Amino acid sequence: MLSFIARRIGIGLIMLVALSVLVFILLRLAPGDPIDAYINPSVPLSMDELAALRERLGLNQPLPIQYFGWLSAALSGDFGYSTQRAGVAVLPLVIERIWPTVLLMAAGLFIAIIVGIAGGIVSAVRRNSALDVGFSVGAFIGISSPAFLTALVGLYLFSVQLRWAPSGGMLTPGAPFSIGDLLSHLILPACLLSIGHAALIMRYMRSSLLEVLNQDYVRTARAKGVKEFWVIIKHATRNALLPVVTLIGSTIGIAIGGAIFLESVFNWPGMGLLLVNAVNTRDYPVIMCATLIVGACVIAVNLLTDITYAAVDPRIQVG
């Protein structure tokens, strides 16, 4: 197990470097001059001043030298300063935005896992019933609904029309902090984020459990007189969870993309909103740092998923 973890960490570091190279190149290939992000358009600069600024920032160097200069600084924890926030270091700015995104994603995935697994079990046990058909239709609608459409419809329906939840932000401006206020802002975007993932988990859980219920050891447990509840929960569900565990790990990366839309729609002060604003303002240091942190989180989650998969099924061997 230790050698497996060490090897996966090494592969993850290589993937992070490849991701940083790709994002660095794409930012340099974007239309416009990178120097424009560092100057005030209302303050005209001479050609000599622009050349001096370009040299000071290292933008006059060849692209490989620029990248390795950035990489060497990043390895020491220096991701530079935001081009749109004077004197604000990038790393603390990005770290400050991590926990709101983690909170939103954790709440959304928690709801998706509970609803998806429970719905999949009920749908499989009550196969071809009206309840199964209803769950299947709802799952297909949830899978087919893009994140931005779900966010906009949910905001309009539950915040604008019904006024059941606040329309944006993480806390009420000017109000003292309280758990109730936080939950009132969190519940709607978390539920909307969970829709697509809950639907996908439900379909996988139903399919996997139906396959397991036809296995010999399940029929043997029933023949021995084991109550149906324990046959489903103890004997069938645990083995049916194996593909679902892998799916849950892979959906976290997808959830980041959905969180970007949700944070933009609900003005949630997390990584997604920060990235969108950084792209709009061409804040290159923030984009690079935020992208690497998101990539590192996805790689870490995939590693934990593999370890969990091996723990759930002792037959899985890692080496």
pLDDT digit string (tens) for 79-135?
888 887 777 888 898 888 888 988 888 898 899 999 999 998 888 888 888 888 898
Cα separation, 1 vs 318, whole angstroms:
6
Between 90 and 252, the more confident residue is 90
Across 27-31, 32-36, 191-195, least confident range: 32-36
Cα separation, 258 vs 294, whole angstroms:
13
Res 314: pLDDT = 57
Are the CB atoms for 316 and 40 separated by under 8 Å? no
In the predicted model, is pLDDT for residue 319 greater than 70? no
Q: Which CATH superfamily is domain 98-269 in?
A: MetI-like (1.10.3720.10)
With left for phi above 0 and alpha for psi between -120 and 50, is residue 45 left, alpha or beta? beta
CA 60-63-67 angle, to 5 degrees, is 110
Cα separation, 203 vs 278, whole angstroms:
37
56 pLDDT band, cuts 50/70/90, is confident
* Section 36-56 average pLDDT: 74
Are the CB atoms for 199 and 192 separated by under 8 Å? no
Q: Which of 267, 282, 126 is nearest to 189 (CA)?
A: 267
- Tell me the residue length of the chain: 319
Between 40 and 216, the more confident residue is 216
- Chain mean pLDDT for the chain: 82
The ranges assigned to domains in the chain are: 2-89, 98-269
Q: Which residues pair with 89 in a beta bridge?
A: 81
Q: Which of 272, 285, 289, 264 is nearest to 37 (CA)?
A: 285
Cα separation, 231 vs 184, whole angstroms:
39
Res 318: pLDDT = 54
Cα separation, 72 vs 66, whole angstroms:
10
Amino acid at 160: V
315 pLDDT band, cuts 50/70/90, is low
CB atoms within 10 A of CB 48: 8
Res 127: pLDDT = 85
pTM for this predicted structure: 0.80
In the predicted model, is pLDDT for residue 139 greater than 70? yes
Question: What's the Cα-to-Cα distance from 62 to each of 18, 55, 65, 66, 269, rounded to whole Å?
Answer: 19, 12, 5, 6, 36
